[in-house]
Amino acid sequence: MIGAITVLLIYQLIGESLVVALGLPVPGPVVGMLLLFLTLLLRGGASPDLRDTAQGILQHLSLLFVPAGVGVMLHAGRVASEWLPILVALLLSTVATILVTAVTMNLALARVEKGASRDDE
Amino acid sequence: MTSSLEDIWVYLAATPLLGLTLTLVAYQIAYWLYVRGGMHPLLNPVLVAVALLVTGLTVTDTRYQTYFDGAQFVHFLLGPATVALAVPLYAQFGKLRRLLLPLVAGLLAGATTAVGSAVVVGWLLGASRQTLLSLAPKSITTPVAMGIAEKLGGLPSLTAVLVVSTGVLGAVVAKSILDAIRISADSVRGFAIGVAAHGIGTARAFQISEEAGAFAGLGMGLNALATALLFPAAYHAFGFGG
């Protein structure tokens, strides 16, 4: 577990360093995630230790949201004065995103399946 | 008696131990309630834990900064957790390659809709610039969304609240929307929920089926990546940065 945590921290550190050095517009941990993903592709898999640790952290991902969520205390004024645009934007956008993603993927899936069945003939 | 209690409080409030412990205790209580409540989406553990903590801090008149001095140890783990997303993403690589075209099409359409519709609706209804920038990455998982908001001049802690709210909304409405438009493939249902409502949506998708859950996890990971790569680039390209 310590080994896997070390690996995760090293990738995050490399990611953060690259972001600062190259002035990338992307958060450092995302670069770290990409690099780890590429490493796993090259290596052909994650070690059991890394798999277990990643699963352990991600299982309780929601706990990690809590301290930042409590920060709503700092924004009580903003939330109170802009609650209408915030609420409507969240609701409409969430519904629209589910609709658009599902419909687009379904159309593309139908096309791919049609192409595949034509190949079979 | 009162004064010694106060002494203890003053001592504890000055160490990181209190904020850290309170965070874990509030989360345990919230998670227990969530399980007891049949995992109802509205009993989302983050939402309940945040409500408990905000109430507690307000009642004891404790500043957020004092609390965060301890809670930052939990908060810090968001970075390594983001890196760890590479592992499940890699585990889905086989499926990802087979369904590459439909997934990429759905992802690009969904990622654009998630950011675009939130910003446009918020702007039409008069939200401030800083609120809009905090709102834009609301469909992706917190660590990445906060990183984007921070980089572009939004408020990371406001983004975190909006991300959690989006997740809860998505988990509540997803099933009825997908039923209404008669999408029956669990791969599509799961992916759409994951793209729109990240980790909280993914937990909901696992209740639909194992396959829906796996594809939701994929949607969550890919949308985090797509939004992190595309949104800051688009933001600067269109000159909103100036």
Q: Per-residue DSSP letters for B87-128?
A: HHHHHTHHHHHHTHHHHHHHHHHHHHHHHHHHHHHHHHTT--
More confident: A49 or B12:
A49
A55 & A108 share domain = no
Confidence of residue B241 (pLDDT cuts 50, 70, 90): very low
Q: What is the pLDDT of residue B242?
A: 39
* Boundary (domain end) residue, out of A27, A42, A59: A59
**pLDDT computed for residue B119 by the predictor:** 94
A68: nearest Cα among B136, B61, B150: B150
Residue of A nearest to B148 (CA): A27
A50 and A73, same structural domain?
A: no
Tell me whether residues B109 and A101 touch, CB distance under 8 A.
Answer: yes
Question: Residue B68 is nearest to which of A5, A33, A67, comparing CB atoms?
Answer: A67
State percent of chain A over pLDDT 90.
55
- Is a pLDDT exceeding 50 seen at residue B195? yes
CA–CA min distance A118, chain B (Å): 17
Q: Which domain holds residue A79?
A: 68-121
Among candidates B156, B187, B224 on the partner chain, residue whose Cβ is nearest the Cβ of A30 = B224
Question: Would you say residue A115 has pLDDT above 90?
Answer: no
* Positions of E strands within B5-117: none
Cross-chain Cβ contact A104/B110 below 8 Å = yes
Residue B177 clears pLDDT 90, i.e. is over it: yes
**Residues of chain B positioned with their CB less than 8 A from the CB of A30:** 82, 144, 147, 224-225, 228-229
Looking at the fold, whether A37 and A74 belong to one and the same domain comes out as: no
Residues of B in contact with A90 (CB under 8 A): 118, 135, 138, 162, 165-166, 169
B137 within 8 A of B145, measured Cβ to Cβ? yes
Q: So what's the pLDDT on residue B200?
A: 79
pLDDT at position B214:
79
User: Which residue of B76, B82, B148, B179 is the best one to mutate when testing the A interface, meaning the one whose CB has the most A CBs within 10 A?
Assistant: B82
Confidence at residue B135, expressed as pLDDT on a 0 to 100 scale: 94
Portion of chain B with pLDDT greater than 90, in percent:
45
Least confident of A53-57, B23-27, B36-40, B94-98: B94-98
Unique residue bearing structure tokens 């408990």: B52
pLDDT band at B124 (very low <50, low <70, confident <90, very high): very high
Same domain, yes or no: A102 and A81: yes
Check residue B157 and give its pLDDT.
Answer: 82
Nearest CA in chain B to A46: B87
A-facing residues of B in 58-97 (CB < 8 A) are 58, 64, 67-68, 71-72, 74-75, 77-91, 93
Torsion (CA) A23, A29, A34, A36 in degrees, nearest 10: 130
CB proximity B164 to A under 8 Å: yes
Contacts of A111 in chain B (CB under 8 A): 101
Mean pLDDT of B14-23: 88
pLDDT digits (tens, 9 = 90+) for A44-81: 989 999 999 998 887 777 788 788 889 888 888 888 89
Judged against a pLDDT cut of 80, whether residue B237 lies above it is answered with: no
Predicted model pTM: 0.79
Q: Nearest chain A Cα to B103, which residue?
A: A105
Q: Which residue has the tokens 């194992």?
A: B210
Residues A53 and A74 both lie in one domain: no
| Cα–Cα distance list, B88 to A51, A52, B92, B217 (Å) | 8, 11, 6, 8
* Mean pLDDT, range B110-128, rounded to an integer: 95
> What single string gives the DSSP state of each residue in A57-80?
HHHTHHHHHHHHHHGGGGGHHHHH
Residues A3 and A30 in one domain: yes
Sole residue written with tokens 């227990």:
B32
pLDDT of B64 > 60? The answer is yes
pLDDT (average), residues B37-43: 81
Which 98-117 residues of chain B touch chain A by CB within 8 A? 99, 101-103, 105-107, 109-110, 113-114, 117
- CB proximity B169 to A under 8 Å: yes
Residues from chain B contacting residue A45 (CB–CB below 8 Å): 90
Q: State how far the Cα of B87 lies from the Cα of A43, in Å rounded to an integer.
A: 12
A86 with A45, same domain: the answer is: no
Q: Are residues A73 and A55 both part of a single domain? A: no
Asked if A93 and A55 sit in the same domain, the reply is no
| A112 and A81 within one domain | yes
- Determine the distance in angstroms separating the CA of B5 from the nearest CA of chain A, rounded to an integer: 26
Report the alpha-carbon distance of residue A2 to residue B226 in Å, rounded.
30
Please check whether residues A121 and A99 belong to one and the same domain. Answer: yes
- What end-to-end distance do the CA atoms of chain B give, in Å? 59
Mean pLDDT of the residues in chain B: 87
Residue B55 confidence (pLDDT): 96
Could you report the per-residue pLDDT of A82-107, keeping only the tens digit for each? 999 999 999 999 999 999 999 999 99
Residues A49 and A102 in one domain: no
B237 touches chain A (CB under 8 A): no
What total number of domains does chain A contain?
2
For the ranges A8-12, B75-79, B225-229, B236-240, the lowest mean pLDDT is seen at: B236-240
Tell me, what's the pLDDT at A118? 65
Give B47-54's long-range contacts (Cβ < 8 A, gap of 24+). Answer: B47/A69, B47/B164, B47/B168, B49/A63, B49/A66, B49/A69, B49/B23, B50/A66, B50/A69, B50/A70, B50/A72, B50/B161, B50/B164, B52/B26, B53/A66, B53/A70, B53/B22, B53/B23, B53/B26, B54/A70, B54/A72, B54/A73
Phi, psi for A107 (deg, rounded to 5): -60, -45
In this prediction, residues B69-98 reach a mean pLDDT of 86
